[in-house]
Amino acid sequence: MAQGKPGPRAVVVGGGVAGLTAAAALSEAGWRVVVLEKEDDVGGRCRTVRAGGYLFDTGAQHFHDSYDDTLNAAIRAGLGESFRIPQEPKGIFHDGRLSTFVPRGLNPSTIFPWGAVGLTGLADVGAVAPALLTHYRSYNIRFPHWWSQGDRVTAARFLSRRSTARYRRNIADPAALYAMGAGIDTISAAAFMVSLRYTFGDRTGGFTGGMGSLSEALARKAKVITGMVALEVVREGKNATGVRAMPAVGGRARTYQADVVICALPATALPAVAGRLGRSAQDIVARVRYAPAIVVNFASAEENAAPGGPVIVARGEEIGAAWVCKNTSKAAEYAPGGGTVATVVFSGEEVPVIIDEPDDVIVKAASSACSSIFGTAFGKARQVRVDRHPEAFPVVSPGHAARVRTLFTSGSGVGNLLLAGDWTTSPTVEGAVSSGLAAAGRALAQRAG
């Protein structure tokens, strides 16, 4: 940017990772960026809260090794590799056993998912291995490979090729459901992560805690106004000229002028703010539904008898799983003095049933999940925090990928109004980061053109 010449102005609506990534990228390119976030804090569904000396992840917690855009964003935002916990000190608690992630090459027992495949599956391993290796390169948590080849059918075929009945039931089917977005409400994030771990071995590690530190670091790169509710995108003809917004606690509405507006909102919140969009944008927005989730955090002053450090416990059908990061810098960060923070994520069928229950009912259910997996009920927790997400994960209907591709080609239908958010890519932090980068890229290209 030439000195003295002010850069173009962007208003970003929504201070989740998608909006913040877009804002950081444009700020780095010399744009004058304002992010409007209706809550008091940034992060949206990717937020880490500090309370009483403990750290609580209130939404996303797991980082996958294929989160390239996320890791790069974290590095650029100054967090460095420390954002992601190294491989060694983590593991999965399953069926009462802690399976640590040791390098495959060193431990023959982890080369293949024996436990999940079962005895009857051993004969299939010879056939399974080449398929795994073939698909490994094109595999990515964003599943562009599956999407590009026709969603559901390709995904199902891909997974069925490597399965015994038991493997399919416990591992492949949940992963397929998740991947297709079709049944995310019927599986847990844990089941999904376990399936990835079993399927792709050590590459699927990358447990992190404190995912919200990414949101915070990105927010330092742009001007963010929290507690500011965007009311509407202001338009002149086919162009957006700014965003009208009002303080959440009351006060006068004002308009933030912009050369480009980026709406990084959940699909359900978008229409009220963005107004009428083009046909393909309207179409995709109308078809996205959300599955709910609940996160319960327990902080205990005592080290947990099982794994210690921050642990993530999640529930889902037959798989009870936990990620542990004992003896890492994050352990001390989460719970100083050898304490424990356990995060229980409910994301299964029971969520719609219990989401409106009072805290004590939810806390009891979470405590019993801890008890069944770790033998510790966290009855005497120092702090307990319950976060309800009625709209946790976008559940996309079949054909979503094709519609998203159209959206990217034809745009929102309003020249300089760009859309971002996990629903435009995949229901993950990586999806949100990628969508923010894409929106920033389009803004830069529009300007250059």
Ligand X SMILES: Cc1cc2nc3c(=O)[nH]c(=O)nc-3n(C[C@H](O)[C@H](O)[C@H](O)COP(=O)(O)OP(=O)(O)OC[C@H]3O[C@@H](n4cnc5c(N)ncnc54)[C@H](O)[C@@H]3O)c2cc1C
Instruction: Please enumerate, as own/partner, the contacts of 402-410 that have beta carbons within 8 Å and a separation of 24 or more.
Output: 402/151, 403/280, 403/283, 403/284, 403/287, 404/284, 406/280, 406/284, 407/280, 407/281, 407/284, 408/438, 410/278, 410/280, 410/281
CB count in 10 Å sphere of residue 394: 23
Q: How far is the CB of 345 from ligand X (least distance, A)?
A: 5
Q: How far is the CB of 148 from ligand X (least distance, A)?
A: 21
If one asks whether residue 233 binds ligand X (CB under 6 A), the answer comes out as no
Q: How far is the CB of 152 from ligand X (least distance, A)?
A: 21
Q: How far is the CB of 46 from ligand X (least distance, A)?
A: 4
If one asks whether residue 46 binds ligand X (CB under 6 A), the answer comes out as yes
Q: Compute the distance between CA of residue 99 and CA of residue 107 in angstroms, rounded to an integer.
A: 12
CB count in 10 Å sphere of residue 353: 9
User: Are 445 and 41 in contact, with CB atoms under 8 Å apart?
Assistant: no
If one asks whether residue 65 binds ligand X (CB under 6 A), the answer comes out as no
In this structure, what token pair is assigned to residue 387? 């976060």
If one asks whether residue 60 binds ligand X (CB under 6 A), the answer comes out as yes
Binding mask 175-214 for ligand X (x = CB under 6 A): --------------x-------------------------
Residues in CB range of 5: below 8 A, 6 or more apart: none
If one asks whether residue 344 binds ligand X (CB under 6 A), the answer comes out as no
If one asks whether residue 173 binds ligand X (CB under 6 A), the answer comes out as no
Q: How far is the CB of 247 from ligand X (least distance, A)?
A: 11
Q: Compute the distance between CA of residue 417 and CA of residue 141 in angstroms, rounded to an integer.
A: 28
If one asks whether residue 16 binds ligand X (CB under 6 A), the answer comes out as yes
Q: How far is the CB of 273 from ligand X (least distance, A)?
A: 5
User: Are 427 and 250 in contact, with CB atoms under 8 Å apart?
Assistant: no
If one asks whether residue 429 binds ligand X (CB under 6 A), the answer comes out as yes
- Judged by CB under 6 A, the residue of 91, 174, 339, 421 near ligand X is 421
CB count in 10 Å sphere of residue 252: 6
* Complex with ligand X: residue 151 or 422, whichever CB lies closer: 422
If one asks whether residue 45 binds ligand X (CB under 6 A), the answer comes out as yes
If one asks whether residue 354 binds ligand X (CB under 6 A), the answer comes out as no
If one asks whether residue 382 binds ligand X (CB under 6 A), the answer comes out as no
User: Are 394 and 422 in contact, with CB atoms under 8 Å apart?
Assistant: yes
If one asks whether residue 269 binds ligand X (CB under 6 A), the answer comes out as yes
Q: How far is the CB of 431 from ligand X (least distance, A)?
A: 6
Which residues lie near ligand X (CB under 6 A)? 13-19, 36-39, 44-46, 59-62, 189, 229-230, 264-266, 269, 273, 293, 295, 345, 389, 392, 421-422, 427-432
